[in-house]
Amino acid sequence: MPTLIRLIVILLVLVGLGYGAMFALVAIVQPRDKEVTIRIPARDLVPSTQRDPLVRREINTTRQPEAPAAAPPAAEEPALSVEPASDAPAEEGEVVTRQQGIE
């Protein structure tokens, strides 16, 4: 047991010396200001489209949504259909459902 206590005491003394050295460096040493100039070639200032993986594409907003394909009538019971909502605002607490693709 005395060996373990000696080891812990020695480690604590070493940690204290390291902490004291760092504190002394912070308190005593003053960094010097120095101007630094770095030349950057002009070709590196403007990103080339060949290296750029992301390309901005134009979005065609004049395209009309395609009409959905006509589904064959099902022999089973028909699903509940939702009538398209009008452009009138919904009453309080009412849910308005719109067709897909129409905002």
Domain that holds residue 19: 1-29
Assess if residue 35 is contained within a domain.
Answer: no
Assess if residue 82 is contained within a domain.
Answer: no
Q: Please state the three-class secondary structure of 56-83 as a single string.
A: CCCCCCCCCCCCCCCCCCCCCCCCCCCC
pLDDT per residue, tens digit, the chain (103 aa), is: 789 999 999 999 999 999 999 999 999 999 889 999 988 888 777 766 665 555 556 666 677 777 777 776 666 665 555 555 455 566 777 777 777 766 5
Assess if residue 87 is contained within a domain.
Answer: no
Residue 57 and residue 94 in contact, taking contact as beta carbons nearer than 8 Å:
no
Assess if residue 39 is contained within a domain.
Answer: no
Assess if residue 9 is contained within a domain.
Answer: yes
> How many domains does the structure of the chain reveal?
1
Assess if residue 102 is contained within a domain.
Answer: no
Q: Which two tokens stand for residue 32?
A: 């010097």
